[in-house]
């Protein structure tokens, strides 16, 4: 009798064990599917949080004159611009990244050399964490320089600028007002601005505001060594706005202001850029860009006519305009 009871109990235990294993086996694929679905959803949410794009523009101009009574010179020019962006927004976090590249050359008259007329590299990254309403605690990093050497044309034997000469780096912590994707007003009371001049000749003469070399007029002994960098601490304001004015016309403007707390805080550095794009069709675009700069630490020297007699030397308002018609691709 005891043996029968033992056998019956063993059978029941085996059935129970096999049933539980079968249930777990059925539940395992279901659990894996749920985990896979969660991972897919998380990946999809991450992709949705990012918004990426940009525009590539290549433009050119050619002028040919033969027996032209009004006078003039033959010329040919070409320019290219690349504007890329990557923005992340999820929950309380906002991260905006922009890369702007531009380069242009011109060849005029009997001149055999190509002269540079546009040259820009700018990388900006700004991270923000929502504070309240449309205000974000933010930190910004900005870097500017150029691709190639610059000259005071028609004199193309002496460099007045080069890659990383100058280069500007800026690090700022402050508050960003961002009511929508088209407008941003960033104010940073804590800002470090760094100027680099990676060229011994330019740095020696104190170009772009770095400390220049000084010598004793009698003994010619160096009394002050030149530096290839300069640090400033101050306040920074960046206003950025973009809008589609009409169906095929877009406008973007960026205004940057910087005041050095430690040296002439009333002399505010200004960097104001605009870009207007008018789309003719899918691939042809007309662009107009402007750049206005005032930096109290940058000396501009003007000469009288073609002579080497200095007419003016000191800080001046700088302005550049580039107008082009050419191929563009937006993505």
CATH architecture observed for domain 55-330 = Beta Barrel (2.40)
Task: Give me the mean pLDDT over the 176-200 stretch.
Answer: 95
**Where are the chain's structural domains?**
55-330
Task: Give me the mean pLDDT over the 113-138 stretch.
Answer: 94
- Among 228, 181, 185, CA closest to 205: 228
Q: In whole angstroms, what is the distance from residue 85 CA to residue 63 CA?
A: 35
**Terminal-to-terminal C-alpha distance of the chain:** 84
Question: If you average pLDDT over each of 20-29, 271-280, 314-323, which comes out highest?
Answer: 271-280
What's the predicted TM-score (pTM) here? 0.81
Q: Is 222 exposed, middle or buried (0-12, 13-18, 19+ CB in 10 A)?
A: exposed
32: three-class secondary structure by DSSP: helix
The band of 144, judged by pLDDT with boundaries at 50, 70 and 90, is very high
Give the pairing of strands 135-145 and 167-180. antiparallel
Give the pairing of strands 222-224 and 50-63. unpaired
Contact 106, 117 (CB under 8 A): yes
DSSP state of 9: H
Tell me the pLDDT tens digit for each residue of 204-257: 999 999 999 999 999 999 999 999 999 999 999 999 999 998 888 999 999 999
Tell me the pLDDT tens digit for each residue of 257-296: 999 999 999 999 999 999 999 988 888 988 899 999 999 8
Beta pairing partners, 57: 81, 328
């Amino acid at each position: 009798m005891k043996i029968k009871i033992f056998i019956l109990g063993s059978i029941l235990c085996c059935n129970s064990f096999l049933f539980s294993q079968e249930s777990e086996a059925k539940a395992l694929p279901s659990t894996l599917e749920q985990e896979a679905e969660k991972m897919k959803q998380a990946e999809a949410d991450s992709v949705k949080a990012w918004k990426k794009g940009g525009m590539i523009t290549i433009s050119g101009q050619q002028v040919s004159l033969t027996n032209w009574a009004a006078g003039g010179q033959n010329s040919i020019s070409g320019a290219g611009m690349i504007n890329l962006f990557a923005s992340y927004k999820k929950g309380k976090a906002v991260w905006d990244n922009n890369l702007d590249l531009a380069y242009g050359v011109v060849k005029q008259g009997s001149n055999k050399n190509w002269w540079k007329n546009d040259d820009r590299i700018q990388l900006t990254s700004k991270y923000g964490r929502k504070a309240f309403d449309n205000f974000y605690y933010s930190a910004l990093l900005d870097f500017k320089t150029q691709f190639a050497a610059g000259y005071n044309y028609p004199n193309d034997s002496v460099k007045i600028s080069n890659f990383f000469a100058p280069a500007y780096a800026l690090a700022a912590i402050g508050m960003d007002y961002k009511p929508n994707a088209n407008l941003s007003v960033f104010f940073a009371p804590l800002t470090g601005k760094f100027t680099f001049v990676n060229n011994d000749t330019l740095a020696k003469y104190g170009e772009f505001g770095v400390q220049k070399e000084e010598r004793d007029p009698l003994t010619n002994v160096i009394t002050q060594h030149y530096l290839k960098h300069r640090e400033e601490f101050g306040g920074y304001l960046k206003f950025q706005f973009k809008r589609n004015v009409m169906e095929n016309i877009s406008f973007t403007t960026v205004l940057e202001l910087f005041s050095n707390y430690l040296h002439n805080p009333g002399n505010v550095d200004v960097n104001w850029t605009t870009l207007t794009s008018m789309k003719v069709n899918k691939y042809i675009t007309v662009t107009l860009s402007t750049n206005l700069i005032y930096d109290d630490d940058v000396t501009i020297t003007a000469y009288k006519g073609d002579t080497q007699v200095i007419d003016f030397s000191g800080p001046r308002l700088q302005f550049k305009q580039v107008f082009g018609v050419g191929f563009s691709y937006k993505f």
